[in-house]
Structure 1
Amino acid sequence: MITIMNWKQSTVVCLITAFFLIAETVGDDNSKHDDKDESSDEGSMFSALRKSRGNVGFLHAFIASLSMIIVSELGDKTFFIAAIMAMRHSRLIVLAGALGALVAMTVLSALLGYATTIIPRQYTYYVSSILFAVFGFKMLKEAYQMSEDGSQEEYEEAQAEIKKKEDEMNASTQDIETGIIKYNNRGIFYMIFRTVFLEAFVLTFLAEWGDRSQIATIILAAREDVWGVMLGGFLGHAMCTGLAVVGGRIIAQKISARTVTFIGGVVFLLFAFSAFIIRPDSL
């Protein structure tokens, strides 16, 4: 069974939580010294300014989330889970199960990130930039150390997980005494849909939990427009999962996991360095 998250991912999550808690404490201390006599005219001006920048913030969040998901998910374990299951079962059912899990994970991650908006934006913005830099350098290191057969290794690992899960489900559905499953045609369709959908959903959800794309979604939602992050995540997952179920094995043979990981590292570093160009109050 796929582990929920390894110790490195747990460390990153703890780091995110610690930084946000520290930032909240500092923000509370600074708020005590804020000037409470600001005029209503200044408040209206800043409110209008933030509203005019809303569309730009949404678009920036959408593009950032979409690109992050694509470079993170292509050739990832969740990609191969959908690809392998689509070779054995109905593509539509596999797509529904896998995409359902990814949409649920995106919403959950975005809400976790949005919860940090109670912290002053300048803190979450720059802390998230530091974390993106850490992720970027980590991915570049992984790409440098990765063998050319990285995609094949991910494929074989996903295949082993699916085989194990299917063996467990097949054993649980057999009659204890005869070992024969008896149901009508309608029951067959219901059984196939239920088991395949559930298998795709559970395997994808567990594989995605603690993955870099989940943590990156949390970080993005903490610094960007949450609706843009969710919509970009939905579209990115739909594109990657759709490619997986249509021709995942062929695509996997054409795409090098090492190249995708390298590109992902570069994209994450661009997110980090954008903090030096784009100020948090401009989004």
Structure 2
Amino acid sequence: MTDFSGMLAGAWLSSAGATFLLIALAEFGDKSQLVCMTLAARHRPLPVILGAVAAFAILNLLAVLFGAAVAAWLPEWVVTAAVGLLFAVFGISALRYKEEEDDEDIEEKSGHNVFATTFLLIFLAEFGDKTQIAVAGMGSTSNTLAVWTGATLALATTSALGVMAGQKLLHRLPLVWIHRVSGAFFLVLAVLAAIRLIQNIL
């Protein structure tokens, strides 16, 4: 009985570890990590991390429970259009920042919505993404809880690394340049989403 339990525990850890390694490597440098990096340069790091982890936890849960069909819940063009619109709004908002504005007022207003902003951006950007489909595929062949745990820990790790990079690298820039860098980044993502939307329609 002990040997059997040990085998089960070993198989569970093996599935979780393999999922962690695969997803972490796939997401390293991906758009979700860059989003966390950019947001962390402008806002407090904890709400950014919590928002990203919450989004990934739900996305991975949907993936392991419903498999690849999760990506078909909404037409791809609807998700792509929503992502592009969100990125464009945040990009334009960041570029409109003026150096003479009161930084404390801006931080106070945006701080209440950092968690929701991060959650929404990550959730829509990663919905139906290759990583979620990979998690769905692994969940259909391995222990679902192990796959969910490994994938969520991997994405939490890459998000935390992105936040740390944003705090240490981008945060050294003057605030006005942080807003310009993040605004340009979000607009690039919006353009990429628009190109993808056009390709889907055509």
- Residue 80 of structure 1, aligned match among 30, 34, 55: 34
Alignment of 1:120-269 (within 5 A): 162=87, 164-165=89-90, 167=92, 189=108, 191-248=109-166
- Residue 12 of structure 2, aligned match among 44, 51, 58: 58
Q: What's the TM-score once normalised by structure 1's chain length? A: 0.44
Conservation of the 8 A alpha-carbon contact between 2:64 and 2:144: yes
In the alignment, structure 1 segments of 5+ residues that lack a partner are: 1-46, 116-157, 172-184, 252-283
Conservation of the 8 A alpha-carbon contact between 1:114 and 1:226: no
- Between 1:235-244 and 1:90-99, the stretch displaced more is 90-99
Amino acid at match of 2:13: L
How far 1:49 sits from its partner (Å)? 9.1
Conservation of the 8 A alpha-carbon contact between 1:70 and 1:240: yes
Q: What's the TM-score once normalised by structure 2's chain length? A: 0.61
How far 1:111 sits from its partner (Å)? 1.3
Conservation of the 8 A alpha-carbon contact between 1:95 and 1:241: yes
- After the TM superposition, list the runs of 4 or more consecutive aligned residues in structure 1 that deviate by more than 4 angstroms: 47-52, 160-163, 166-169, 248-251
1:80-125: CA deviation from partner (whole Å, max 9, x where unpaired): 000001111111111111121111111111112399xxxxxxxxxx
- Residue 62 of structure 2, aligned match among 108, 119, 141: 108
Amino acid at match of 1:208: E
1:59-78: CA deviation from partner (whole Å, max 9, x where unpaired): 12111110111111111010
> Aligned partners of 1:201 and 1:100: how far apart in 2?
7
How far 1:241 sits from its partner (Å)? 0.5
Amino acid at match of 2:161: L
| Higher alpha-carbon Rg | 1
Amino acid at match of 2:128: G
Conservation of the 8 A alpha-carbon contact between 2:52 and 2:156: no
Aligned length: 145
In the alignment, structure 2 segments of 5+ residues that lack a partner are: 70-82, 97-104, 171-202
